[in-house]
Amino acid sequence: MGARIELLPDERIGENLACYRGRTADGVLRGLAHAPELAERWLAFYVPLVKEDGRLPVEVKELVRLQIAGVYGCDYCTSFVTPLAQSRGVTPEKVRWVMTPDAADAPYSPRERAALRYTLAMATGTGRLTAQQVAEVRALFRDDQVVELSMLAAALIGFGRVSITGLHFVE
């Protein structure tokens, strides 16, 4: 199935959005370009949250990104690991287990395993985290890191619903 709205050609993407070429899926950029001021704000929020170190290292963020892309079945999003995350040890072996972080063979640190369990519950559960799920992640992460992890998952889940399963910006 193709996009449900027109994906604008490159020549119709404004100058303020052109800097995001290659930093997000082309279809996403071409779909968001219908509302350039919203796209600029979204991408200014999204790129640092997902693709740069923050309170959480980019390698944890990348595992979460790949996991949530797997929930939504985005072949494009799951087809690559960002170079920075790759250079820091996000290997194909780690990627292979993002949907099953509790598997005995999953090669994760306790922090990675906890983060992936938490975000998988957010992405696939009823939308309500249990006190135990929050306590488990708080045992391994500072509160500011839990907030960033939660915002990361929320942004990826919401954007996945719009761009992948909703408007089909990513083909």
Q: What is the pLDDT of residues 107-166, one digit of tens each?
A: 999 999 999 999 999 999 776 899 999 999 999 999 999 999 999 999 999 988 888 888
Domains of the chain from N-terminus onward: 57-161 (1.20.1290.10)
15 versus 54: which is more confidently predicted? 54
Q: pTM score, two decimals?
A: 0.91
Share of the chain above pLDDT 70, in %: 96
**Residue 116: its pLDDT value, please?**
98
**Residue 75: its pLDDT value, please?**
85
Which helix (H) or strand (E) segment holds residue 135: the answer is helix 131-138
The confidence band for 16, taking pLDDT boundaries of 50, 70 and 90, is confident
Whether the CB-CB separation of 89 and 119 falls below 8 Å is answered with no
Which of the 8 DSSP states describes residue 6? -
The confidence band for 171, taking pLDDT boundaries of 50, 70 and 90, is low
**3-state SS, one letter per residue, for 56-95:** CCHHHHHHHHHHHHHHHCCCCHHHCCCHHHHHCCCCHHHH
CA-based nearest residue to 113, from 154, 60, 156: 60
Which residues touch 49 (CB under 8 Å, ≥6 apart)? 61, 148, 151, 152, 155
Cα-Cα-Cα-Cα torsion 33, 162, 168, 72, nearest 10 degrees, comes to 140
Average pLDDT value for residue range 69-76: 89
The confidence band for 28, taking pLDDT boundaries of 50, 70 and 90, is confident
Range in 25-34, 60-69, 108-117 the model is least confident about:
25-34
Distance in angstroms (rounded) separating the CA atoms of residues 134 and 170: 32
